[in-house]
Amino acid sequence: MSAQITTVGLAINPDKKLARQLARTATALLKRAGVRVLSAHGDVAALAARSQLLLVFGGDGTMLRVAREMNGAQTPVLGINAGALGFLTVVPAERMEKALRAVLAGRYTLRARAMLKMDIVRQERWLPAHYALNDVVISRGAAARIVRMAVGIDGEPLTEYVCDGMIFATQTGSTAYSMSAGGPILTPGTEAFVMTPICPHSLTNRSVVVGRSAVVETRILSQPEELVLTVDGQVRVSLRSADTIHVRRGNRQFQLVQPDGYSYYETLRRKLNWSGANV
């Protein structure tokens, strides 16, 4: 964003009182700076198309929803944290005004975050694609039975998994469900995504880091009683036996604004309660 910012769109989680309060404060600040302020009114893609910058008020779940609903628009997004965790909503509520002034003055970094594209092939028919900023998860839902699936990469068989499910995570999503399941953290700029089995029944089944151009194909072998696929924990798709799920790095990116002074590693230490180290 080299040009001066004159139009800013607001996407607000209406269920969070703090988000609504922060949005009102931000609106007043922006208008004093001569910036035009637009609201979503339910159509995030249209809002993104009309804005030079999107401000998202909520938690990381709100950011994930906005990322999908932008439908590939490359409008930069700045997240204001009115939730609990805040890996994507990088600006804490108490630093919002300082961060906004820095961004309006051009003091920020723009980081492109990769998104996954997921397709399901069912009886030789391709179902509508979905995009994920965090992860795509195959899980058994409320059923108690294990899941059997055959996994291949770029058309070559990898192995058959017997497990409770499978997580496909981006660099962004590597600090979410995948990490909880024992997967690695992919630091910013990692040109890859990760595949992490959930409670595998073999000690040799571990996370696999997959290159950016690879296509992972997962075929469901078991009878999927209540077997589901979720996209960013928000979109739910029922699966059937013999479905094949194709996961790859998509052609969409999410443009994340990081104000001057933001540190990914400081955020990682703070959110994961890691101690600092002198290097």
Confidence category of residue 278, pLDDT binned at 50, 70, 90:
low
Q: Please state, for a pLDDT cut of 90, what percent of the chain lies above it.
A: 78
Residue 186, strand partner residues: none
Same domain, 124 and 227: yes
Structural domain includes residue 277: no
Per-residue pLDDT reduced to its tens digit, 42-72: 799 999 999 999 999 999 999 999 999 999 9
Question: Which residues participate in catalysis according to the annotation?
Answer: 60
Instruction: For the beta carbon of residue 8, count every other beta carbon within 10 angstroms.
Output: 23
Indicate the number of domains in the chain: 2
Residue scoring higher pLDDT (260 or 232)? 232
Q: Amino acid identity of 5? A: I
**According to the model, what pLDDT value does residue 246 have?**
98
Q: What pLDDT, on the 0 to 100 scale, is given for residue 230?
A: 96
- In whole angstroms, give the CA distance from residue 181 to residue 161: 15
Task: Locate 18 and state its tokens.
Answer: 């703090």
pLDDT given for residue 64 in this prediction: 96
Looking at the fold, whether 243 and 122 belong to one and the same domain comes out as yes
Domain contains 1: no
Confidence (pLDDT) at 276: 66
Statement to judge: residues 153 and 242 lie in one domain: yes
User: Token pair 């401000």 is at which residue?
Assistant: 55
Q: Give the tens place of pLDDT for each residue, 135-175.
A: 999 998 766 678 899 999 999 999 999 999 999 999 999 99
Share above pLDDT 70 across residues of the chain, in percent, rounded to a whole number? 95
Residue 48's CATH number: 3.40.50.10330
The Cα 131–Cα 4 span in angstroms is: 31
Concatenating the DSSP letter of every residue in 255-278 gives: EEEEETT--HHHHHHHHTTPPP--
Q: CA-to-CA distance for 248 and 116, rounded, in angstroms?
A: 6
**Do 120 and 64 belong together in one domain?**
no
Claim to verify: residue 247 and residue 121 sit in the same structural domain: yes
Q: What is the pLDDT of residue 145?
A: 78
CB under 8 Å, gap of 24 or more: what pairs does 121-124 form? Answer: 121/243, 121/244, 121/245, 121/246, 122/240, 122/242, 122/243, 123/242
Question: What is the domain extent for residue 30?
Answer: 7-107+260-271
- Predicted confidence (pLDDT) at residue 6 exceeds the cutoff of 60: yes
User: Which of residues 66 and 202 earns the better pLDDT score?
Assistant: 66
User: What is the structure's pLDDT at 143?
Assistant: 67
Q: What is the pLDDT of residues 239-259, one digit of tens each?
A: 998 999 999 999 999 999 998
DSSP 184: P
CA 74, 75, 76, 78 dihedral sign is negative
In this prediction the pTM is: 0.92
Q: Mark whether 142 and 204 lie in a shared domain.
A: yes
Dihedral Cα 53, 58, 60, 65, nearest 10 deg: -70
Same domain, 85 and 17: yes
Provide the pLDDT confidence category of residue 277 given band limits of 50, 70 and 90. Answer: low
Task: Give backbone dihedrals phi and psi of 143, rounded to 5 degrees, phi first.
Answer: -70, 155
The answer to whether position 276 is within a domain reads no
How many CB atoms are located within 10 Å of the residue 192 CB? 18
- Please state, in angstroms and rounded to a whole number, the distance separating the CA atoms of residues 74 and 72: 6
